Structure 1
Amino acid sequence: METLGKIPVVSLVFLVASLDYVEVPSSQPPANRTTYQLTMKTKIAFVSFCVLIQAVVCSAEDRRGPFTHARRSVRTRFVDQQHISLQLTLDFEQQAFAGRVIHHLIPFQALRELTLDAADMQVRAVQLLGARGQKTELKFTHQSPALKILLPAEQPIGQEFHVAIDYRVSKPKHGLHFVSPDKEEPGQQVMSWTQSEPEYARYWFPCIDSPADRVTSETMVTVPASFMVLSNGTRVATRTNPNGTKTWHWKQVQSHVPYLISVVAGDFEAFEQEWNGIPITSYVPRGRLADAERSFVKTKAMMDFYSKKIGLKYPWPKYAQICVDEYSWGGMEHTSATTLNLGTLHDARAHLDVSSDGLVAHELVHQWFGDLMTCKDWGELWLNESFATYFQTLWTEHDLGLDEVTWERYQDGESYKSEDKRYRRSLVNYHYNGPNNMFDRHSYPKGGRVLHMLRYVLGDELFWRAVNRYVMVNKFRSVETADFRIAIEDATGQGLNWFFDQWVHQGGHPDFDVAWTWNPETKTVRVTVKQTQTVDDVTPLFRMP
């Protein structure tokens, strides 16, 4: 490398003798493979290919957007949540619910005071539960969103204890939502659903509302007898009560994070499939069963495709897809029980023009990337969303072919670049003003394109070996980017700090100025490629694969 003032310059010269054409071979995916041909009657004596990489280093214009907070750290935990047992009684007329949550906790250090997240709720009582069924009433103070509980004695390190909290929530603003008829929509079906990502679990049950903490869970939900309740894991029991209600008991025995706990209640019909002994059930409001088959018929094939690609069979005992009304998002990958916007469904005429396959594929692959493994902090969200975005395009390629996925990836790139014009950030970023800021086009399409480029760098065989190792080593864990990089290096032997430094821990992308000249006397083509982006503390001079 030669340095001219503040302009780094790199020149690379390649000589190719006596060719009719020049081909750039590659082990990369077909969508990224490019073949260049020079068709000339006279053979080219040689081609001189000179690459000049240049970028001016100067101070960055402040385009940080909503990423101006002092650097955050992964949340400190004083206790390890082991299990959450949640009991709810839903009152649809009053749009309220009574709750009781029992936490199984193990201290990381000697503990006298326990602090939980509990927002916009009325906490009525807190008890310490003894091993023999005894109950000790505990003193507490609740200033939303913090619930501080004074324990009767110091809890020793590593010794599990159980705390029960009784509470009530009326007309919740976040977390658990009620849907009912009104003047504008008098025919609206009554239902209820939950949405906790990123930090709304605290609005419907007290907990440590952090993606760094994994738990097993169970839900016992009482609703009108005509309703069903859908939740994570396996249904343990359904009990009919003397007062005309019914209680549904679901249990999730494999660990996941609190924001993935889900409860949906309403009157649904089911479209049923099965793959390798795993039931796949799609629930829709009564009267929409025909639409369900149109929207979800490919789920079984997707599950087979992803299980083979990732090298690990779908990891949960069942898969449910539940369509709900007034859902503000496209879908949410609750563990084994995805929630979807009612707009996912469409009739026969609309089916000619629109498809739900992209959304269905995205949420399904989250069951591996997002649920089986979850980002440890919102600053690492790309480990959830970039993977789901990229694997969504893999299904498109498998199902519809190269042309369709090439167009989809082009749109992804344009979507990211339009946001990059407003602000620029690294994929891993702990400066978010709030966790919702992380759900942007950097975390989704840009990260997906970065994974596609990583596949090009490694080649197919090593890339898929690395993905499988990442999953097998880190399943049922909350992860950081370092876990992904180390898994790749262990699987392939390749040092990839250079790749992660510029594409994950820094921002932006290279801008190229490409020019070429042909010298007929020497039969030489000179191609000059310059990187023209401004280099600053966010955007590097990129080493291209």
Structure 2
Amino acid sequence: MKYLFFFISTFSFAQQTQFVDFKSVLGKIAINPIEKTVSGDVDYDFDVLKSIDTIKIDAQNMEFSDLKLNGKSINYINTQKQLQIIFSFKKGKNNLTFQYLAKPKQTMYFIGSEANDNIQIWTQGQGRYTSHWFPSFDDVNEKVVFNLNIVCNKEYQVVSNGALKFKSELDGLSVWQYQMQKPMSSYLLMLAIGKFKKNSQKSNSGIPLEMYLEPKDATKFEPTYRDSKRMFDFLEKEIGVKYPWRIYKQVPVRDFLYAGMENTSATLFNTRFVVDSTGFEDRSYTNVNAHELAHQWFGNLVTAESGKHHWLQEGFATYYALLAEKEIYGEDYFYSKLYESAQQLKFASRTDTIPVLNTKASSLTFYQKGAWALFVLHEEIGDKAFKKVVKNYLKKHAFQSVNTQDFFVEIKKVSDYDLDNFSKVWLESTVFNTQQSNSLLLKNKSIQILFEVEKLKKKPLSEKKEFLEKTMKSEVHFSVKEAIVNQLKEDRFREKESLLTLALETKNIPVRQAVVASLNEISESFRTQYETLLEDKSYQTQEITLYNLWNNFPEQRIQYLDKSKTWMGFNDYNLRTLWLTLALSTPNYTVDKVALVKELINYSSINYEANIRQNALEKLLAFKIINDVVLGNLVNATTHHMWQFSKFGRDNIRKLLKNPEMRVSLERIVPDLNQAEQFQLNRLLKE
């Protein structure tokens, strides 16, 4: 679940895989967190299938030494993008060894510092980027059995692909030996290094399930990993093919680029999903968890041969994640999510001119339309046939690359379903088939009622109020009640007050949250009811409620601030940063405002994760608490590896530069910045 994905299958590599088959590799590597380098010995075994005079290994900006082919020194070319071995290769088995040194500019990320005792090192090779830290293959069709021996400071845990075969310690260092048994694409190679606590379980089929957290988050284990084993057992049974690897690990890492990444046997995910029981209500890891797990079959066991067939990974992972959520949350939830994605796809199809079977398709298309295509197919050919198709498809192409026709071949064996029409409608067309999707959605009773609610959108409230009140009082799924609240946004408060009261009385967090989001202005008559939202077990609800109450009732501000002064919220401190800005903006609130300013500014510094920093910077800028330190922290954001955060920094500096005084302030701090910060700020100053 990356929401960005790049497949590169260059001509040279598509050609090379016909001549050379790399079988296995042992990498003995050392990580230096101070120098931010990775170095070591690499030992590749490969078969030459046809005579060839040059073999290429992708390697970005690396240094090489001591290259030997079958134990003898060999000539090579280092293009800084590839290691090219020049030799008259004949058919047969070969061994290649060499040493390398890399200082990755991307793909391997060094987070934190020794000074703060919070170092983390992790990789993200999705698509074609592992070659920035390990000499490997940007072509997803070259599958290799990877084995790594990793040397690092003994204070840190090391997680990599496969089973941990051995761990030893010497002179303050530890060596972790990880071993794979089956081949995989290079982009699925991973490392995660840091201080973690491990919790182990076993699946019903006996697969070890290892779940990691930082020690400070140890109490959040249950809500973070809730239903993990249940989903594993469900997917293994539903897919019908035994989990293909020997172990499954999950590790949350700070400042991760995406929601999650399904490296073979070891998923990395964003720390925003590390939650307590209250945070679980708004930021559950459940869907991401199921999605990345499904990829262990769809993407890792069988890999799309090119970007054109990317839906075979993301569409399948999205659909099977939904099936796992259906197992946990029920059929109404399942259909409500399908309805939600159908609405997105219908809207997007007005401007999106790229279909599923296209390398340049959007994430929405690959993920959601791909999932819809599978849902349609599942419904049309029936559950028994669909499961047989998936099972046969995975077993036939295990540890290989696949395309859409490979999947279709298995469908034709069990069904005479019109695949030509299916492909044209769901995979080759940019139009979303509303008629067919509605027909399938309407099999669910809650969706039937939701459709009735949606038909009433343009009618005056007086004509539909009775029906809406009856629905709000019913046992219908909460998504329908949310839709009712959202439909009332433009109506006068007096006319909709009774419906909003009913919504609050549901005690359902998403429905009550919809009420919060629908009201900016709160009448005095509704204040007491609205204040109950401060007690909801939802940090998101509490954040919006606190701000709206503070904004609408100035005379009650001190009361609200006293009530919320110990709140922290999610692990991005959403409630704490809001409280600090509100306290600083309340003139008659007796607090040490210098200390509060210092605390808020500190949250915007490099000592914290990007999500905390952005929350703090948003508040500082919105409430105009800006000094040289704040500006420096904002400039530093532009150098961050997370594009969302760096863009946030650039966009806000551009806004500030429109103010002559802010321009002078930004120009003044240039000499105090490091080289990367100076480069980014000078570029913005010249725009």
Pair in the same fold by TM > 0.5: yes
- Is the aligned partner of 1:266 residue 2:198? no
CA–CA distance in 1 between the matches of 2:273 and 2:49? 44
Q: Return the alpha-carbon distance in structure 1 between the equivalents of residues 234 and 350 of structure 2.
A: 36
CA distance in 1, matches of 2:348, 2:357: 16
Alpha carbons of structure 1 residues 102 and 489: separation in structure 2 relative to 1, 3 Å: same
Question: Per the alignment, in what secondary structure is the counterpart of residue 345 of structure 2?
Answer: helix
Report the TM-score, using the length of structure 1 for normalisation.
0.74
1:202 deviates by 1.0
Could you tell me how far 1:188 is from its partner in structure 2? 6.7
Superposed displacement of residue 471, structure 1: 1.6
CA positional deviation for 1:296: 1.0
Q: Please, which runs of 5 or more residues in structure 1 have no aligned partner?
A: 1-65, 433-437, 514-545
Q: What is the aligned partner in structure 1 of residue 373 from structure 2?
A: 450
Map 1:95-494; keep pairs closer than 5 Å: 95-128=36-69, 130=70, 135-151=71-87, 154-157=88-91, 159-170=92-103, 172-181=104-113, 187=116, 189-241=118-170, 243-275=171-203, 276-430=205-359, 432=360, 440-494=363-417
Q: What residue identity is the alignment partner of 2:230?
A: A
Partner of 1:509: 432
Tell whether the 8 Å contact from 1:124 to 1:168 is kept in structure 2 after alignment: no
What's the CA shift for 1:479? Answer: 0.8
**Cα distance in 1, alignment partners of residues 172 and 434 from structure 2:** 66
C-alpha spacing 1:73/1:502, structure 2 compared with 1 (3 Å): farther
Secondary structure of 1:304's aligned partner: helix
Partners of 2:304 and 2:401 within 8 A in 1: yes
**What CA distance in whole angstroms lies between the structure 1 residues aligned with 2:13 and 2:54?**
21
Return the letter of the residue paired with 2:367: Y
2:183 aligns to what SS in structure 1? strand
Query: Shift of the alpha carbon at 1:504?
Result: 2.0
- The 1:347/1:372 distance shift into structure 2, 3 A limit, reads same
* Higher strand residue share: 1
- CA, structure 1 residues 118+70, in 2 after alignment: closer, same or farther (shift >3 Å)? closer
Q: Which has the higher helix share?
A: 2
2:32 maps to: 91
> What amino acid is aligned across from residue 266 of structure 1 in structure 2?
G
Give the C-alpha shift of residue 279 in structure 1.
1.1
Match of 1:75 in 2: 14
Q: Secondary structure at the match of 1:160?
A: strand
Structure 1 residue runs of 4 or more that deviate by more than 6 Å after TM superposition: 69-74
TM-score by structure 2 length? 0.59
Whole-angstrom CA distance in 1 between matches of 2:12 and 2:302 = 19
Task: Report the equivalent of 1:539.
Answer: none
Q: 1:248 to 1:70 in 2, by over 3 A?
A: closer
Deviations 1:434-467 (A, max 9, x none): xxxx561111111101111111221222212211
Residues 353 and 232 of structure 1: is their aligned pair in 2 closer, same or farther, counting only changes over 3 Å?
A: same
Q: Quick one: structure 1 residues 326 and 353, their matched pair in 2 at CA, closer, same or farther if it must change by over 3 Å?
A: closer
| Sequence identity (%) | 26
Say whether the 8 Å CA contact 1:127–1:138 is kept in structure 2: yes
Q: Relative to structure 1, is the Cα distance of residues 81 and 420 closer, same or farther in structure 2, using a 3 angstrom cutoff? A: farther
Cα displacement string for residues 450-502 of structure 1 (whole angstroms, at most 9, x for unaligned residues): 11111122122221221122122222211111110001111335452332244
Higher relative contact order (CA 8 A, sep 6+): 1
Alpha-carbon distance, 1:364 to partner? 0.8
Q: CA deviation at 1:332?
A: 0.7
Q: Look up the SS of the partner of 2:245 in the other structure.
A: coil
Distance 2:117 2:376 in 1: 46
Q: Would you say the 8 A contact 1:373–1:478 is kept in 2? A: yes
- C-alpha RMSD over aligned residues: 2.5
Task: Show the counterpart of 2:630.
Answer: none
Distance 2:417 2:73 in 1: 57
Once residues 163 and 197 of structure 2 are traced to their aligned partners in structure 1, the CA distance between those partners, rounded to angstroms, is 18
AA paired with 2:202?
E
Quote the Cα distance in structure 1 between the aligned partners of 2:12 and 2:337: 35
